[in-house]
Amino acid sequence: MTEIIASIAFWVFAIAALAGAFGTVMARRLFHNALFLVVALSSTAAIYVILSADFLAAVQVLVYTGAIVILLLFAIMLTPQQVELPVFAAGGQRIAAAAVSILLFLIVAGAVFASPWPLATVPLDQPTSSQIGAAMLTTYLFPFELVSVLLVASMIGAILLARED
């Protein structure tokens, strides 16, 4: 019974994530794009919860759904006038983009359906936070600290570029 509920929840959140992704791409107003992005990212976090990836779900909510979307909304609110997204591509480019998209979809779908997907030997009902934390602070300590220094340096550079002289 639990597997049926988990399967139904997975498909509901997967459809919501796809709807949010399509809404993000198709909406004409920037604010609506940001709201659809919240739907897509929150649904992805819910899928992570269903898959027992609690650390990824928390990071998804905090970093992407929280910080990045809030940053986008602040940027939209600080824009002086109403911004409408213009149509960039001509008719021929749209047809070529649609053909490339369909071809890429067929390649990815063929790879997904042709690959064997063995079931996990370990049950997925155990938290992953402690394992990821132990790996980040032992095996991957140097890359973790290197990324943090890189992020601090990029933040300082962004502040220096954005300040008024």
Residue pLDDT, tens place only, 53-85: 888 898 899 888 888 888 877 777 776 666 565
Q: Angle 110-114-117 (CA atoms, 0-180°, nearest 5)?
A: 125
Q: What CA–CA distances, in Å, run from 79 to 30, 62, 131? A: 11, 25, 43
Tokens for 159? 């502040």
- Interior CA angle at 73 toward 82 and 20, to 5°? 100
- What is the Cα–Cα distance from 13 to 6, expressed in whole angstroms? 10
Q: Give Cα 84 to chain centroid, integer Å.
A: 24
Which tens digit of pLDDT belongs to each residue from 29-52? 878 888 899 999 999 999 998 888
User: Under a CB-based contact definition with an 8 Å cutoff, are residues 64 and 42 in contact?
Assistant: no
Residue 68 corresponds to which amino acid? I
Mean confidence (pLDDT) of the chain: 85
Check residue 83 and give its pLDDT.
Answer: 55
Buried b vs exposed e over 26-51: b needs ≥16 C-beta within 10 Å?
ebeebeebbbbbbbbbbbbbbbbbbe
pLDDT mean over 138-144 = 92
Tell me, yes or no, if the pTM score tops 0.85: no
From the centroid of its chain, how far is CA 29?
A: 20
Contacts of 54 (CB under 8 A, 6+ apart): 48, 127, 128, 129
